[in-house]
Amino acid sequence: MAAPSISSAPAALHSASGRPLTNRWVALALLLLVAILNYADRFLMSGLAQPVKAHFGVSDALMGALMGPAFALLYAIFSLPLARLADRHSRVMIVAIGCGVWSFFTMLSGMATTPAMLAVARVGVGIGEAAYQAPAAALIAAYFPLEQRGRAFALLGTAIYFGQMMGFAGGPAIAAAYDWRTAFHALGIAGIVIAIATMLVVREPAREAATLGSPPLRLGATIRLLMATPTVRHLAALLTFGTLSGVTFAMWGTALFERAYGLSTEDAGAIFALSFGLPGLFGTLGFGFIADRIGRKDPAAIMRLAAIALGSCTALVLAVVWANSLVLARTLAVPAGLLGGGWSVAVMAGMQYLLPSAHRATGTALVLLIAGLFATVIGPVVAGQLSDWIAGAGATGLRVGLTVAVPTAYFGVWGAIAATRTLERDRAQLHAG
């Protein structure tokens, strides 16, 4: 089947109220600010782990629970219902309210007087943040025509890098000048201001005509419909295995540099972040702009680009794992970061192209949920366990563990290639039915 023209997937022209939409770049700028705060709130607890731990006198295990499960469990539980709500109601309001909720609980984190209160606040942050990613992706699809979605998603994707800087560097800087509570208060207040601005400035786009008046499917029926669609499964495989590989390397990369090259923990973290982070930022932007050019006549070409980028990046990361010098590892990190920074844009762009408006947020949330659960649970544990079995805390054991975990990305490459074969057929069926 021939690929449809760009005009077959237009952006909305008017708001739900019939008025002209907010300028799409202004809307994107506000969504980017919300996204930066989304990631900054997540990383702030990690950046302030030591002063928070010292203040409350808690164990590393409890701090790990506050940084991980206390946030992630409720995030996972609420992401699908909130995404389904966004498919039927105002996506702008859900994003803005979610930002307000997680920012309010971020402020409460700075007011906590007991570890239990801090845990409750982190749970609230997780619930609020569950309202962001999938509804925001659906908004991008409604605001931007197909030929501009790649760069829009790429710009949105840079939020993780800026969020990391705010959480890991900005938060500790505020804590050093004042105290750790002030950092939580400052980020929370900023989030509430941005939430109000988003609510007031960004207008909700009109829904596709086919969506209006159609009876909503129950959440379970929607999930069954999506999971029965081959392209959804292929894109889920791409995101799951690509993220599993990347998260595993990211979580153990600093330890690898420390053990393999005799660096201090501080130096290893700084060198690893700079070597991969900056190229990753530029790689994300570059992927988005290239995707827009090659996907104008053939949207499946973006999946092929993702397969090439992820496959090449994985090979380079494996070379970094076994590099016999820090100079070689840092040299290989530059192209690895460039190639690895943007392939996930293909998943976001592909899901918005594939799904009708009635299922966009739910479908995106489902794929993100599958990827998140597998990527953050399996990969780091497997690599660490293999390291312990083979050579204890030495670099060789960790290298072997990463050599087992990192190549799982090639299952994601298969998913990207498979998606190119089913994308147009599945899109036609979903939009027809």
201-233 per-position pLDDT tens digit: 998 887 765 454 455 567 777 788 888 899 999
Which of 20-29, 311-320, 328-337, 408-417 shows the lowest per-residue confidence on average (mean pLDDT)?
Answer: 20-29
Give every CB contact of residue 382 below 8 A, 6+ residues apart in sequence: 248, 401, 404, 405
Q: Find which of 104-108, 347-351, 353-357 is predicted with most confidence, using mean pLDDT.
A: 104-108
pTM over 0.85? The answer is: no
Name the helix (H) or strand (E) containing 147: helix 146-157
Q: How confident is the model at residue 378 (pLDDT cuts 50, 70, 90)?
A: low
pLDDT digits (tens, 9 = 90+) for 384-398: 666 666 665 578 888
Maximum Cα–Cα distance for the chain, whole Å? 65
- Residue 20 pairs in a beta bridge with 14
User: Could you give the C-alpha distances from 427 to 145, 348, 372, 384, in angstroms and in order?
Assistant: 16, 15, 25, 40
Cβ distance 349 to 67 under 8 Å? no
Cβ distance 370 to 232 under 8 Å? no
Ordered by where they begin, the domains of the chain are: 15-206 (1.20.1250.20), 214-433 (1.20.1250.20)
Cβ distance 337 to 306 under 8 Å? no
Instruction: Check pLDDT > 50 for residue 7.
Output: no
Q: What is the mean pLDDT of residues 188-201?
A: 95
Rounded to 5 degrees, φ, ψ at 5 are -75, 170
Task: Fill in the amino acid letter for 359.
Answer: H
